[in-house]
Structure 1
């Protein structure tokens, strides 16, 4: 259902059946990993105008893997890591992980 590089790749799917009998497939909930359990690759200082996809491209080589940086920083919202209030802070970048499926 999802590409092997997706954060949702290893999640099970389930089906919800409505009272009317309609079946709605969905992906089970994903829990954030504990950041301390991730091996750190680097810490990057956030600059004005930085975006998480740009940081991921520079450090991990793939902009769509920004979610791994979110995981390493316990961030549900990627914009929390690079907004104006984050300028000057350090963002943890983990070693790249491939979800197990």
Structure 2
């Protein structure tokens, strides 16, 4: 059985998934699986989280967590876009984003993919 949204995608009535440039899934595509009963299931390809300090990321700053810090605001301050908070998660090995700001005094690495500068607006 096909679900209505999947039927619309297959007919071209609804565009395939397209993620914005600041999404962690920007370079990822969708795949389709047909189950034994004929149901077509569309899914997002798997994203592997890079190891902290991976060579394809450049450290642009460090931030010492203060009480009340929010990851989106830290991303906006250093990277110029609050939606890039996921880069901070990748850089610091966080699966649960709020873990990064849970302990005042913790130091976060602020990174960008090499060749993409951050705003570098302070610590």
**Which sits farther off after the overlay, 3-12 or 60-69?**
3-12
Pairwise CA RMSD: 1.6
Structure 2 Cα separation of the partners of residues 64 and 51 of structure 1: 12
Task: Select the structure of larger CA radius of gyration.
Answer: 2
> Which segments of 5 or more consecutive residues in structure 1 lack a partner in the other structure?
none
Corresponding residue of 2:82: 63
Structure 2 Cα separation of the partners of residues 10 and 39 of structure 1: 19
- Choose which of 96, 103, 107 in structure 2 pairs with 1:90: 107
- Choose which of 2, 7, 11 in structure 1 pairs with 2:28: 11
- Consecutive aligned runs of 4 or more in structure 1 exceeding 4 Å deviation: none
* TM superposition score normalised by structure 1: 0.86
> Which segments of 5 or more consecutive residues in structure 2 lack a partner in the other structure?
1-17, 117-123
Report how many aligned residue pairs link the two structures: 96
Structure 2 Cα separation of the partners of residues 91 and 63 of structure 1: 16
Corresponding residue of 1:79: 98
